């Protein structure tokens, strides 16, 4: 009876995954939504039935995807299936919500790194070069159209061009950010569905309790000093390391700053809607407010503002 149930659930999970995959690739507007639910069938199945049955469903799903959708969707399917398998197994093992996020994030990042290495080294395809050339051609066309227009427009195009040139060096940051973000959204959208399907999903700790190790501030300061005063040439490997470490730690400090705002509002009995509005407005308003939030995060991490606030 149990084996029959496992087979039926495996067949349903495979069918649901393949349907979501086909919708994602062949119905663009629906795909924007279904993209985030692709790991869900395997998360559910592996959480219910452990690792070995999950691996079997992964293999069968890949074979069916290859027959129905082709090579490119199947390669994408492997990315989502691996993420779902790891997150589902951690859920089956009764790990915390944070551990599930870390496991999913690492799986995504490792897959993307290996895929990028395969494309660039084995297939000899310069992905970033192609993107850079495409954007550069668009900027050149825009510059020609601007002609003798305002000087401000030309300055903006030059700034964009500098940003495009920096894209080549920030590939690791892009991969890490996307891997973590995708795992986070997947977990957030899957949680209510899994609970409705009677899968015991652990609760997230309050965001106000989010705190990073204090040692990170020293790495951040070291990267900042090297970037500002090190005069590292862009052709050196140290430049790539420093610029990516600095970019990732900037994001960490911003998250720390947002967490402190939530903590401050909690201690002062300010309605929860206020810090949420602050987060949304800060992200939408541009770099100035985010810079202030980042400084706040650095101060909180370095001087433990929450402990001082608690004492008062």
- CB neighbour list of residue 230: distance below 8 Å, 6 or more residues apart: 238, 242
Same domain, 3 and 119: yes
Same domain, 102 and 218: no
Same domain, 7 and 103: yes
The first and second tokens of residue 140, run together, are 């050149």
C-beta of residue 40 within 8 angstroms of C-beta of residue 190? yes
Per-residue pLDDT of the chain (312 residues; tens, 9 = 90+): 667 778 888 889 999 999 998 888 888 788 888 889 999 999 999 998 888 889 999 999 999 988 887 788 888 899 999 999 999 999 999 888 889 999 999 999 999 988 888 887 777 777 666 776 776 676 666 666 655 455 555 666 666 666 666 777 788 888 899 999 999 999 999 999 988 888 888 888 888 888 888 888 888 888 888 877 766 666 666 777 888 888 888 889 999 999 999 998 888 888 888 888 988 888 888 778 888 899 999 988 888 777 777 655
99, containing H or E segment: helix 97-117
State residue 145's pLDDT score. 61
- CB neighbour list of residue 312: distance below 8 Å, 6 or more residues apart: none
Same domain, 96 and 196: yes
- The last residue of one of the domains, among 204, 230, 248, is 204
Q: What's the distance, Cα to Cα, between the start and end of the chain in Å?
A: 61
**pTM summary value:** 0.83
Task: Please give the Cα distance from 230 to 243 (Å, whole number).
Answer: 12
Task: Please give the Cα distance from 4 to 298 (Å, whole number).
Answer: 55
Measured in residues, the chain has a length of: 312
State residue 161's pLDDT score. 65
Burial (0-12, 13-18, 19+ Cβ within 10 Å), 84: buried
Same domain, 183 and 266: no
* Residue where the block lists tokens 């049955």: 53
- Give the CATH number of the domain where residue 119 resides: 1.10.1760
Backbone angles phi, psi at 305, to 5 degrees: -60, -30
- 162 domain-assigned: no
- The last residue of one of the domains, among 157, 187, 204, is 204
Same domain, 271 and 228: yes
Domain encompassing residue 233: 206-312
Same domain, 190 and 251: no
Candidates 16, 113, 111, 92; CA nearest to 49 is 92
Same domain, 100 and 189: yes
Same domain, 182 and 243: no
Same domain, 109 and 96: yes
State residue 244's pLDDT score. 85
Overall number of domains in the chain: 2
State residue 90's pLDDT score. 93
- 137 domain-assigned: no
State residue 59's pLDDT score. 92
């Amino acid at each position: 009876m149990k084996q029959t149930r496992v087979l039926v659930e495996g067949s349903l999970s495979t069918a649901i995954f393949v349907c979501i995959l086909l919708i994602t690739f062949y119905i663009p507007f629906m795909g924007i939504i279904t993209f985030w639910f692709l790991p869900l069938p395997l998360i559910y199945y592996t959480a219910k039935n452990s690792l070995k049955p999950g691996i079997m469903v992964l293999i069968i799903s890949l074979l069916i995807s290859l027959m129905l959708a082709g090579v490119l969707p199947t390669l994408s399917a492997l990315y989502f299936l691996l993420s779902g398998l790891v997150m589902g197994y951690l859920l089956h093992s009764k790990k915390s919500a944070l551990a599930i996020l870390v496991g999913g994030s690492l799986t995504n990042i490792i897959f993307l790194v290996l895929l990028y290495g395969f494309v660039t080294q084995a297939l000899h395809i310069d992905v970033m070069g192609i993107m850079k050339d495409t954007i550069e051609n668009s900027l050149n066309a825009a510059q020609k159209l601007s002609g003798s227009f305002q000087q401000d427009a030309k300055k903006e195009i030059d700034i964009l061009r500098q940003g495009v040139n920096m894209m080549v060096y920030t590939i690791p940051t892009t991969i890490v950010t996307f891997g973590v973000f995708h795992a986070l959204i997947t977990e957030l959208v899957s949680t209510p569905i899994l609970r409705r399907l009677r899968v015991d999903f652990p609760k997230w700790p309050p965001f106000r309790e989010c705190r990073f190790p204090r040692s990170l501030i020293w790495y951040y300061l070291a990267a900042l000093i090297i970037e500002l005063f090190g005069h590292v040439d862009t052709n050196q490997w140290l430049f790539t390391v420093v610029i990516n470490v600095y970019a990732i730690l900037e994001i960490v400090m911003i998250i720390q700053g947002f967490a402190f705002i939530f903590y401050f509002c909690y201690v002062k009995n300010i309605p929860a809607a206020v810090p949420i509005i602050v987060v949304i407005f800060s992200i939408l308003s541009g770099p100035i407010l985010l810079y202030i939030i980042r400084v706040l995060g650095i101060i909180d991490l370095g001087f433990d503002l929450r402990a001082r606030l608690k004492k008062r």
